[in-house]
Copies of this chain bind each other. A is one copy, B any other.
Amino acid sequence: MIQMFHVTKSYPGDPPVLTDVNLTVDKGEFVFLTGPSGAGKTTLLRLVFCDEKPTRGQILVGGRNVARIRAASVPYLRRNIGVVFQDFKLLPHRTVLDNVAFTLDVLGTPRSESRERVLRMLKLVGLQHKAESLPLKLSGGEQQRVVIARALVNDPTILLADEPTGNLDPGLTVEILDLLCEVNVRGTTVVVATHDATLLERYQKRVIRLERGRVVSDTAQSEAVRRTG
């Protein structure tokens, strides 16, 4: 589903953020992406949904080479990818309902239908009572859950979640992670960037570890090594 070949990303004047990253995430996989602050996790995700272009290397997402995609095709690519942004990126002057509905509006879903789906989604993240609030009036954790709802509401084929539980209490963290697992079971490929070591422990999924822009470990490979070894 997601393949990276020798991907390097550098911003002018700075040392490269990602260096020669090779990676394959299969359809239906659930992957944790971890690593210290500034390792390049967010940057890697941004490359996948085409918010940045790689400096070198190729990236295939669902078979399309996003390193060479036309600007006009980007929106259609993104509609299949749900993203939980680390910094939320909510529309500040739209209600929670409209923020979540936005991904459906883009697809032309009629309001009556989308409203129902949005409310169901908000209920899943425990925010049905905040549907008419503006994001600025929500707590950090509430905003984060709105973003999660927005990313999931249109049943994306890929879900990229960047630190989706950084502002959530342990109880909610488990609830949200369980929700992501459920979505994964229904077929969505899920990539979760996280610092939370307890999550990696608890969920025993594939873990890709980045450090200074390089993949330093990948449990899928080590397992393969273990199996062959």
Interface residues of A (CB under 8 A from B): 11, 34-38, 41-43, 86-87, 137-142, 144-145, 162-163, 166-173, 195, 197-198
Contact = CB atoms under 8 A, between A and B. Distances in A.
Contacts of A173: 195
A36 B171 contact: yes
Contacts of A42: 139-140
Contact of A168 (B37, B43, B137, B144): B37
A140 B195 CA distance: 11
Contact of A35 (B11, B138, B169, B195): B169
Given A86-B140, A87-B140, A145-B37, A166 B169 contact: no
A56 B37 CA distance: 41
What 7 A-B pairs are tightest by C-beta distance, nearest first? A37-B141, A166-B166, A169-B195, A36-B169, A86-B140, A38-B139, A170-B197
A163 B140 contact: yes
Select the residue from A35, A37, A173, A197 with max chain B CB neighbours within 10 A. Answer: A37
A139 to B, nearest CB: 5
B195 A37 contact: no
Contacts of A137: 11
Most buried by B among A137, A144, A169, A170: A169
A34 B170 CA distance: 11
A168 B162 CA distance: 13
Nearest to A198: B198
Contacts of A197: 170
